Amino acid sequence: MKKFFVGSLFVIILYFMLFNQASAEGYTSRIGGEDRFDVAANVAKSGWSSANTVIIANYKAYADALAAAPLAYKYDAPILLTQPNVLTSTTKNEIVRLNAKSVIVVGGSGSVSDQVVSQLKSLGVSVERISGNNRFEVANNIAMKIGKSSKVVLAYGLNFPDALAIAPYAARNGFPILLTNNDAIPQSTKNLVHNWNVSQTIIVGGEGSVSKNVFNSVPNPHRIGGKNRFEVAANIASKYFSTQSESIVATGMTFADALTGSVLAAKTNKPILLTSSTSIPNETKNAIMNNGFESFTILGGIGSVSTGVANDLKVLGGGLVIVIDPGHGGSDPGASGYGEVEKELVLDISKRLEKRLVNSNYGVLMTRTDDTYPTLDERVKLANESGANAFVSIHVNAFTSSSAHGTETFWNATNASSDSKLLAEEIQKQLVAALGTYNRGVNGKQGFKVIKDTEIPSVLVEVAFVSNPNEAQLLSDPAFRQKAADAIYNGIINYFNKQ
């Protein structure tokens, strides 16, 4: 910021570049556990204080359980997992807690052994097994247990994502989930569809999963496809759950969490969106933003869905918005020294920061995007009327003596004082560490109008001294300006994570 070299005026235009501005009411919660048995039990605890019936499936073999969610929903039964030859202790304890009277075992004795059935009976529950010669027959027998329906879902039976993504919708509507090979429907499934006189078939998955041949061989087919599992789940959510504000999120790389969570999703009328463990696929991001999903229940521990993904979901759902204010502009150049001009330096840093924030799903309002000259009052008005969550004004410093150097961040106690101070501290910490500049500290005494009159958490950052020859040279380097933008970005992220 120009202190003595050039008379300084703050400038602004009311230029809105807002990405996904929402109410900032989003939240994320997690149903985790040490393993998939724990997750299943914790899902049950989340949705059921008691249950007359429980569904049991093999913790590794998804094939038999793909069609289980509509059955579980019909009986208001959580889905729990077990090892094939011994009833897992976590599952046993959960059955006892639920005070279950009956258990439906999904799959043949190769999936859940007769020994496990005996252990279940020793708990005083009745046990029914639904099995078949293969996964297709198991799904058909589950369908017959659910009861005849004029509409059915048909999904690829040799992988899990599509069947699990459609499960909440199918379950709530009583539509059985039938399974098929890619290019031909098993005869037993074809017979069931014929005998039930099915009037509509919902095909889940693209042609790589369920071919045109299959599509053309079933009654009144309607396809919900996508180029990958994430897009299929996203399209299901957009078609059937667009009026909902909450979603369940599970890894799309393994089946267990989505399986046990599918009946909870049906019970609470939420879609299941899929993610990778360390980043949210674009298809999932688009579904969240396009449908306005604000709140998320994550299934699985951080090994399945990382903390980073959880934080990104919070941003996507909450619609967190940052006002970035590049100081000066137009006829007000700000400070200058050694061939560098403040208004140009800070606009470059601000645009780099904007890019980082937008790529991380934050909404951004830029007070200027080119060499314009607004007013202080307009700047403050934009911040106060925007509904944004924070305001960051970016400057470079100057002094009459060329020896002055370092980085400093200002805040003001007039409005949102504790949050403003925290934001200043986090940004200052990151800047000093990244740039290696002298730490001039955090200053809450200056009454700069843009932070004094702004009602949301606000700071004014002085990156370095353009009046210092060494720091002016650093500021002239695009790599240094990128470091500054990255550091401010990290400070903003840390601030929101600590709220």
Is the pLDDT at 12 greater than 80? The verdict is no
Prediction pTM value: 0.75
| 415's tokens | 């409005």
Q: How confident is the model at residue 25 (pLDDT cuts 50, 70, 90)?
A: very low
Helix axes 161-173 and 256-267, enclosed angle (nearest 10)? 20
Strand partners, 325: 393
Percentage, residues of the chain above pLDDT 90: 84
pLDDT digits (tens, 9 = 90+) for 213-253: 999 999 999 999 999 999 999 999 999 999 999 999 999 99
pLDDT digits (tens, 9 = 90+) for 358-392: 888 888 999 999 999 889 999 999 999 888 999 99
At residue 442, the pLDDT reads 97
At residue 270, the pLDDT reads 97
CATH of 321-498, one of 3.40.630.40, 3.30.360.10, 3.90.320.10, 3.50.50.60: 3.40.630.40
Instruction: Round to whole Å and give the CA distance between 329 and 398.
Output: 16
| 71's tokens | 């059955």
Are 448 and 416 a contacting pair, CB within 8 Å?
no
Over range 191-204, report the average pLDDT: 97
Give the number of C-alpha atoms closer than 13 A to the C-alpha of residue 291, restricted to the C-beta side.
26
Q: In the block, which residue shows the tokens 């959580």? A: 78
Q: How confident is the model at residue 11 (pLDDT cuts 50, 70, 90)?
A: very low
H or E stretch at 465:
strand 458-465
Beta strand 177-180 with 272-275: parallel, antiparallel or unpaired? unpaired
CB atoms within 10 A of CB 449: 15
Is the pLDDT at 10 greater than 80? The verdict is no
Domain ranges of the chain: 27-318, 321-498
Residue 339 φ/ψ region, left for φ over 0, alpha for ψ in the -120 to 50 degree band, beta for the rest: left
At residue 8, the pLDDT reads 34
**Annotation marks residue 94 as catalytic:** no
pLDDT digits (tens, 9 = 90+) for 398-411: 999 999 999 999 99
Is the pLDDT at 3 greater than 60? The verdict is no
Is the pLDDT at 5 greater than 70? The verdict is no
Of the residues 137, 283, 344, 462, which is catalytic?
462
Over range 87-102, report the average pLDDT: 98
Percentage, residues of the chain above pLDDT 70: 95
pLDDT digits (tens, 9 = 90+) for 131-159: 999 999 999 999 999 999 999 999 999 99
Instruction: Round to whole Å and give the CA distance between 107 and 233.
Output: 25
At residue 1, the pLDDT reads 53
pLDDT digits (tens, 9 = 90+) for 152-164: 999 999 999 999 9
Instruction: Round to whole Å and give the CA distance between 475 and 341.
Output: 10
Over range 23-46, report the average pLDDT: 86
At residue 9, the pLDDT reads 31
Over range 414-429, report the average pLDDT: 96
Is the pLDDT at 18 greater than 80? The verdict is no
pLDDT digits (tens, 9 = 90+) for 265-323: 999 999 999 999 999 998 999 899 889 899 999 999 999 999 889 988 988 887 789 99
At residue 16, the pLDDT reads 34
Helix (H, G, I), strand (E, B) or coil at 49: coil
Are 10 and 375 a contacting pair, CB within 8 Å?
yes
Instruction: Round to whole Å and give the CA distance between 3 and 347.
Output: 18
Strand partners, 342: none
